């Protein structure tokens, strides 16, 4: 592809993300799948532009408004981003096959004003804190209550791109063996601080082309997600449910912790997500997982298996505010109505999953959200109506399950990019009283 075609493709992907109510990575994947002529190198270049502009959306929109431009939207953001970066695209950037139309007079005026006033700096002293931090203004009050004076630094860390993390598959390799295998393929990996199974890469790589990945030695998983799975305490020979299993990321981690021994059920309401887990489970050498599609919180399988499991993990559907480093588009697709719907759903899921826990067993509730109403509030509400459960402080179980000192004071786990270098995660460990 020519530079002009790459630029046009990035604009097209960003426009599709704006229109469709789907995660940006899915939109981008569909775009490239329908254009097989775009090679791997060109896909990377287009993706770099897409994600860079997506991470700068609030600041770029601020500049468009600041210079009183009449042009808005994905194309305007891309053009503004180019001139702030010092690139003044000439006519050659809009010529040839698959190229975009050249800038019209209003776009050229916008580019001139942005270039003159920004002078290469994406930030400006007059930007509100929510613009600087790249988050929706309606969330400011909630986030300020959570982080206080540290809000600018916390959201600044959320703004940056997340490093790629891998989880070593304990069914097939030790961490040292995985590091060595990756090194043979020219990939440098260093151990993560919190997860004893984690590896962090300095750069993104095409994992599907690596033997160590194809052979199931490593799996993509943020360090915070690894920690949540480890806190479940899924041991060999136990009975475990991954209640909202999705595509199976935490299911894989639980199976490895169980050493393929015991009963592990991966549930989800979406059949396509359950099916998607199949190839990942096979690649990892997992043999003790039963995948099950459930109709919802009142599914008959839940009633039949009530009180039958030692551990139940509820990785609840949530706003995903803790994953903005990886999914910058998601922050602009969430609103008050979405949060209210999620809270109601989380309450119902938690109550339903609790029925599966046997006396003396544990329920781990987790989200990748920063918002207390999806986290602490949900747990406190649950405990108020389920007197047979108590909170187990994460500080009590961390040393035994992870082998290091706990990085939080408890009783719950709350991780953030700024403080822990992970995605934003929350987890609460709830134990059911033993039978009298």
Question: Quick check: 291 and 273 in contact, CB under 8 A?
Answer: no
**Backbone φ, ψ for residue 127 (5° rounding):** -70, 135
Q: How far is 158 from 417, CA to CA, in rounded Å?
A: 6
Q: Is 267 a catalytic residue?
A: no
Residue 426: how many CB atoms within 10 A of its CB? 26
Q: Give the closest residue to 308 by CA, choosing from 265, 266, 277.
A: 265
Provide the β-strand partners of residue 364.
313, 429
Helices and strands: H and E segment counts in the chain: 19, 12
Provide the β-strand partners of residue 239.
263
Q: Give the closest residue to 11 by CA, choosing from 104, 73, 58.
A: 73
Residue 250: how many CB atoms within 10 A of its CB? 26
Q: How far is 266 from 269, CA to CA, in rounded Å?
A: 11
- Choose the catalytic residue: 87, 267, 368, 406: 368
Q: Give the closest residue to 266 by CA, choosing from 301, 283, 241.
A: 241
SS3 298: coil
- Residue whose token pair is 């922050």: 331
The separation between CA 236 and the C-alpha centre of its own chain, rounded to angstroms, equals 28
Residue 93: how many CB atoms within 10 A of its CB? 22
Non-local (6+) Cβ contacts of 391 within 8 A are 379, 383, 411, 412, 428, 429, 430, 431
Q: How far is 243 from 294, CA to CA, in rounded Å?
A: 10
Q: How far is 217 from 236, CA to CA, in rounded Å?
A: 20
Which residues are tagged catalytic?
368
């Amino acid at each position: 592809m020519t530079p002009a075609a790459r630029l046009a493709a990035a604009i097209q992907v960003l426009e599709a993300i704006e229109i469709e109510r789907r995660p940006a990575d899915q939109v981008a994947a569909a775009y490239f799948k329908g254009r097989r002529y775009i090679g791997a190198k060109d896909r990377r270049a287009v993706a770099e532009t897409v994600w860079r502009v997506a991470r700068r959306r609030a600041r770029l929109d601020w500049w468009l408004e600041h210079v009183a431009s009449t042009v808005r939207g994905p194309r305007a953001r891309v053009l503004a981003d180019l001139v702030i970066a010092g690139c003044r695209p000439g006519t050659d950037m809009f010529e040839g096959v698959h190229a975009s139309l050249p800038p019209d007079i209003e776009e050229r005026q916008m580019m001139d004003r942005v270039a003159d006033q920004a002078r290469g700096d994406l930030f400006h002293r007059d930007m509100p804190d929510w613009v600087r931090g790249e988050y929706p203004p309606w969330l400011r009050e909630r986030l300020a209550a959570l982080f206080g004076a540290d809000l600018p630094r916390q959201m600044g860390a959320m703004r940056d791109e997340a490093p790629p993390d891998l989880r070593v598959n304990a069914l097939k390799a030790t961490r040292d063996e995985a590091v060595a295998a990756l090194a043979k393929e020219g990939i440098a990996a260093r151990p993560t601080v919190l997860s004893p199974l984690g590896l962090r890469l300095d750069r993104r790589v095409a994992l599907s082309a690596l033997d160590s990945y194809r052979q199931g030695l490593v799996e993509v998983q943020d360090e915070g997600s690894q920690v949540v799975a480890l806190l479940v305490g899924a041991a060999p020979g136990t009975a475990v449910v991954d209640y909202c299993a999705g595509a199976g990321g935490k299911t894989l981690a639980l199976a490895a912790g169980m050493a393929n021994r015991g009963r592990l059920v991966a549930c989800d309401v979406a059949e396509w997500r359950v099916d998607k887990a199949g190839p990942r489970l096979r690649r990892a050498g997992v043999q003790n997982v039963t995948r099950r599609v459930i109709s919802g919180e009142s599914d008959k399988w839940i009633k039949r298996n009530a009180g039958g499991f030692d551990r139940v993990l509820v990785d609840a559907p949530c706003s995903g505010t803790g994953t903005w480093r990886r999914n910058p588009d998601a922050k602009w697709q969430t609103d008050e109505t979405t949060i209210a719907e999620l809270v109601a759903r989380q309450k119902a899921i938690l109550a339903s999953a609790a029925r599966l826990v046997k006396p003396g067993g544990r329920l781990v509730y987790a989200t990748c959200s920063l918002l207390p109403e999806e986290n602490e509030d949900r747990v406190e509400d649950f405990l108020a109506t389920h007197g047979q459960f108590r909170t187990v402080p994460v500080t009590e179980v961390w040393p035994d399950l992870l082998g290091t000192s706990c990085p939080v004071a408890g009783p719950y786990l709350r991780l953030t990019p700024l403080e822990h270098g992970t995605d934003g995660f929350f987890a609460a460990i709830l134990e059911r009283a033993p039978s009298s």
